[in-house]
A = this chain, B = another copy of it.
Amino acid sequence: MNENTLGIIAGILTSISMIPQLIKVIREKNVDEISLVMLLVLISGLSLWVWYGFMKDELPIIVSNAFAVLVNISLLICYMLYKKSS
């Protein structure tokens, strides 16, 4: 299999797996299961992966980790919104 195709499929699968948690948090407006520290560690790590992707010039790495950063920043926004109101 072509390396890029493989990376794109891998990226789609790992991206899909993150969506349900975001939907659940948005729907239930409940962030009790989310650890702020771990979310910040994860966002830092994913951002470094995006940087790594740019250095290596690998589009699958850049796109899938940038998507993961977006999902987890959305979770962070939910955390700040829903933690206040509880």
Contact = CB atoms under 8 A, between A and B. Distances in A.
A57 B37 CA distance: 32
A48 B16 contact: no
Contacts of A38: 16-17, 20
Please tell me how many copies of the chain the complex holds.
Answer: 2
B45 A12 contact: yes
Contacts of A74: none
Contacts of A45: 9-17
A41 interface: yes
Given A9-B48, A48-B6, A41 B16 contact: yes
What 9 A-B pairs have minimum CB-CB distances, sorted nearest first? Answer: A13-B45, A10-B48, A14-B45, A17-B42, A10-B49, A17-B41, A17-B38, A7-B52, A3-B55
